[in-house]
C-alpha cells in the first residue's frame, strides 16, 4: 500500500486580507480650532506566505487545510495614527515545494532553502490618510484613500523531492533493494511491480563521515510521460536530482533498449533532464560470468559510465558509491 503520510500535491484556496481605509481627520484642540489634516494611513492586509522548513518532507499537514484566510488591516485614525496591519498566514513547507497557478500551470516560485520565505498571495495595501494629500493649494483635504481589497485565489503546491542521486528504472529493477543496501532506509521490497508507490530517501554514508542523499523513485513504464501507470505522477521528483542513476537488471531482454525507453520518457517529460549527469548500473550482475559481462559491456554506449552491481552479494557497490561521489564533487 502507498504510504498515506506522503502527500506531494495540494490545492488550497488563499484569501489575503484587505487593507484598512485611510482616515480623514482635522486636528482640533482647545487652542486650535482650525488645525491641518492629521488622518492616518490604513494598515495593510495580511499576506499568505510560504516558508521553507527542512524538517518537513511531505505536504500532509496542508492536505485538509483547504482555505487559508488572512486578517484585514484596520483603518487609520486621527493624529496620523496608522492602522494595525493584518496578520499574515505563514505556511511551512518542505524544501523542493513549487507554487503554481492552477489555471495556467505557471510556476510562481520554488522553495529550496530552509527559512526561505516567498509571498504566495499579497495582502491589500492600506489607504492613505488625508494628511498625505495636503498641498499649497489644498490645505485641508477632506478625503482619504480606501483600502485595497484582498485577493481570493486558488494555488497549487507541488513537492519535488530534493536528492543528490535519483534512481531511475522500470518496476522490479532492484531500486529499493539497492537503496536498502547503501543506506539505512527500509523501503518495502517485494517481487511484483510497483512495490514502491512513493519516493523513498536514504542517506548514503561515504568515507570520513561524509554522505549524500539517494532517492528511490517509483518505477517508470513506457508511456509514463503521457500519463500511463504511476510514473507520470513521480517524474517531477527526478527533476530535482543532481545525478540520475539508471538501473537495468542483467536479466533484461534488451538492456540497451530498456535504457533507451527510460531516457525517452525523461526527454518527453522534460528535455532539460538529459543534461544531468548519468550513470548506468546493471543490477543482479551476480548472475553473469565474465564472458557475459564483456558481451553486455560491448553493446552499451561507450560514453556512458557503467557499473555492474549486485545488491545481494555487494558486488561493485563500493565502486558505485565512489563513482557517484566523484561526479557529485
- In this predicted model, what pLDDT tens digit does every residue of 106-156 receive, in sequence order? 999 999 999 999 999 999 999 999 988 988 888 888 889 999 999 999 999
What is the distance between the alpha carbons of residues 26 and 130, in angstroms, rounded to a whole number? 9
Q: Where are the domains of the chain?
A: 1-159, 165-328
Tens digits of residue pLDDT in 262-303: 888 888 888 888 888 999 999 989 888 888 889 888 888 888
What strand order describes the sheet that includes 200-206?
200-206, 210-216, 165-168, 243-249, 277-283, 305-308
pLDDT at 190 over 50: no
User: Stretch 9-37: mean pLDDT, rounded?
Assistant: 87
Query: Is the CATH code 2.60.40.420 the one for domain 1-159?
Result: no
pTM (2 d.p.): 0.67
What pLDDT is recorded for position 225? 45
- According to the model, what pLDDT value does residue 109 have? 94
pLDDT band at 222 (very low <50, low <70, confident <90, very high): low
pLDDT at 185: 57
How big is the chain by its Cα radius of gyration, in Å?
29
CA dihedral 55, 56, 61, 65 (to 10 degrees): 100
Q: Does domain 165-328 have CATH number 3.40.50.300?
A: yes
Please report which helix (H) or strand (E) contains residue 155, including its range.
Answer: strand 152-159
First CA to last CA distance, the chain? 37
Amino acid at each position: 500500500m502507498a504510504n498515506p503520510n506522503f502527500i506531494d500535491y495540494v490545492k488550497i484556496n488563499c484569501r489575503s486580507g484587505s487593507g484598512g481605509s485611510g482616515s480623514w481627520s482635522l486636528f482640533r484642540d482647545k487652542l486650535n480650532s482650525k488645525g491641518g489634516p492629521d488622518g492616518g494611513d490604513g494598515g495593510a492586509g495580511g499576506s499568505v506566505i510560504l516558508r521553507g522548513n527542512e524538517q518537513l518532507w511531505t505536504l500532509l499537514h496542508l492536505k485538509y487545510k483547504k482555505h487559508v484566510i488572512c486578517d484585514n488591516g484596520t483603518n487609520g485614525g486621527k493624529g496620523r495614527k496608522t492602522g494595525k496591519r493584518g496578520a499574515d498566514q505563514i505556511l511551512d513547507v518542505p524544501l523542493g515545494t513549487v507554487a503554481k497557478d492552477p489555471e495556467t500551470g505557471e510556476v510562481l516560485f520554488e522553495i529550496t532553502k530552509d527559512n526561505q520565505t516567498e509571498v504566495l498571495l499579497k495582502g491589500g495595501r492600506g489607504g492613505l490618510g488625508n494628511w498625505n494629500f495636503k498641498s499649497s493649494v489644498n490645505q485641508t483635504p477632506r478625503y482619504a484613500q480606501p483600502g485595497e481589497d484582498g485577493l481570493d485565489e486558488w494555488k497549487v503546491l507541488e513537492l519535488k523531492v530534493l536528492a543528490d542521486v535519483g534512481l531511475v528504472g522500470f518496476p522490479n529493477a532492484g531500486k529499493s533493494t539497492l537503496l536498502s543496501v547503501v543506506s539505512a532506509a527500509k523501503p518495502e521490497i517485494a517481487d511484483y511491480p510497483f512495490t514502491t508507490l512513493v519516493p523513498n530517501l536514504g542517506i548514503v554514508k561515504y568515507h570520513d563521515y561524509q554522505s549524500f542523499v539517494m532517492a528511490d523513485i517509483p518505477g517508470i513504464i513506457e508511456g509514463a510521460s503521457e500519463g500511463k501507470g504511476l510514473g507520470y505522477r513521480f517524474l517531477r521528483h527526478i527533476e530535482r536530482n543532481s545525478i540520475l542513476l539508471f538501473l537495468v537488471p542483467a536479466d533484461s531482454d534488451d538492456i540497451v533498449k530498456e535504457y533507451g525507453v527510460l531516457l525517452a520518457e525523461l526527454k518527453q517529460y522534460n528535455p532539460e533532464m538529459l543534461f544531468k549527469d548519468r550513470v548506468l548500473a546493471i543490477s543482479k550482475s551476480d548472475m553473469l560470468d565474465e564472458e557475459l559481462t564483456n558481451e553486455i559491456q560491448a553493446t552499451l554506449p561507450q560514453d556512458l559510465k557503467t557499473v555492474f552491481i549486485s545488491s545481494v552479494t555487494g558486488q561493485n557497490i563500493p565502486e558505485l558509491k565512489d563513482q557517484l561521489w566523484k561526479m557529485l564533487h
